């Protein structure tokens, strides 16, 4: 068997920043330390931090007064920030800057009187946070059908934004529908879908014609990981989204001579390495690292941690 390891894969700059933020917050404040929602959408990562005393909550009122809370990479709404202030929480904001960009765009368009069509998945943490910036001005569409059915008054000023972790092709298809339906619609100056999401999809697109099977490391609630497996299936190859090597089924690999392994932007590299080692042991796999695009993006730690770090140094 030959295994092709897609590059880039795994952690993006936003995830790296969020996880480093949580590490530093644990170091500074100890446990229990509270995180609003999962720090990133990855089960192994969440489980590891839970064992170290991190408590993941879905409601701010679950956090004791005066505690420390870290906001996840997916961002939060202004309402959540206000609730934190009321509970006298020390809030550390580990929102990915690319998500913050979308929040700012929502505020800007709303202040200019636009009705904003947000392309995204209902209930996703990022979508909830973005919609919370201008709830009276934002309408959510999830697919081409809902975009086609959307009706707005004729004189409505319309803008669109997108969740950062969507399929590039699917998002563009929805945008095309919206532009046809609302010819004067405006969008962000720069694409909302994040560089890491695009790069990982690009790598799968380029490599998948060569392989028989695709293994995607990532969790079921990770939007960008799910898009990678869907993309491979759309391109005609069987693809499986797994959290760890324990989930691999040998029947997936019957007659598989070439296997592509990639990982969503919230999946740690060690789970990739475990899968590669397992394939080496069980299938005498030869491994090729395939670099499609290099990434050199880094994001600074949240201001709250930088200030704390400076004041204690």
Residue 250 CB coordination number (10 Å): 8
Q: If you search the block for the tokens 């609730």, which residue do you land on?
A: 83
126 catalytic? Reply is yes
- 19 vs 60, 131, 266, CA distance in Å? 20, 25, 10
- The greatest distance separating any two alpha carbons of the chain, rounded to the nearest whole angstrom, comes to 65
Residues 271, 245: contact at Cβ < 8 Å?
yes
Residues 163, 127: contact at Cβ < 8 Å?
yes
Catalytic residue among 38, 126, 133, 170: 126
Residues 99, 75: contact at Cβ < 8 Å?
yes
Residues 6, 264: contact at Cβ < 8 Å?
no
Q: If you search the block for the tokens 């720090």, which residue do you land on?
A: 39
Question: What is the distance between the alpha carbons of residues 149 and 145, in angstroms, rounded to a whole number?
Answer: 6
- 160 vs 5, 118, 139, 176, 254, CA distance in Å? 35, 6, 9, 11, 45
Q: Peptide bond preceding 32: is omega within 30 degrees of 0, i.e. cis?
A: yes
Catalytic residues: 126
């Amino acid at each position: 068997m030959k295994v092709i390891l897609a590059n880039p894969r795994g952690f993006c700059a936003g995830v790296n920043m969020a996880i480093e933020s949580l590490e530093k917050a644990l170091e500074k404040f100890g446990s229990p330390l509270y995180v609003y929602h999962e720090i990133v959408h990855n089960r192994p990562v969440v489980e590891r931090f839970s064992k170290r005393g991190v408590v993941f909550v879905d409601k701010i009122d679950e956090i004791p007064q005066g505690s420390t809370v870290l906001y996840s990479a997916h961002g939060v709404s202004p309402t959540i920030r206000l609730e934190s202030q009321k509970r006298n929480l020390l809030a550390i904001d580990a929102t990915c800057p690319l998500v913050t960009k979308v929040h700012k765009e929502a505020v800007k368009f709303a202040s200019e009187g636009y009705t904003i069509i947000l392309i995204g998945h209902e209930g996703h943490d990022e979508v909830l946070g973005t919609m919370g910036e201008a709830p009276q001005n934002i309408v959510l569409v999830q697919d081409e059908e809902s975009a086609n059915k959307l009706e707005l008054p004729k004189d409505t000023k319309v803008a669109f934004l997108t969740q950062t972790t969507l399929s590039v092709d699917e998002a563009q298809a929805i945008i095309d529908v919206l532009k046809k339906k609302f010819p004067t619609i405006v969008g962000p100056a720069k694409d909302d879908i994040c560089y890491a999401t695009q790069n990982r999809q690009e790598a799968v697109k380029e490599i998948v014609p060569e392989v028989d099977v695709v293994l995607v490391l990532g969790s079921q609630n990770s939007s960008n990981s799910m898009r990678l497996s869907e993309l491979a299936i759309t391109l005609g190859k069987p693809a499986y989204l797994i959290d760890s090597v324990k989930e691999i089924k040998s029947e997936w690999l019957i007659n598989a001579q070439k296997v592509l392994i990639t990982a969503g932007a919230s999946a740690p590299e060690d789970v990739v390495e475990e899968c590669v080692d397992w394939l080496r042991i069980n299938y005498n796999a030869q491994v090729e690292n395939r670099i499609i695009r290099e990434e050199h993006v880094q994001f600074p730690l949240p201001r709250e941690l930088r200030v704390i770090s400076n004041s204690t140094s």
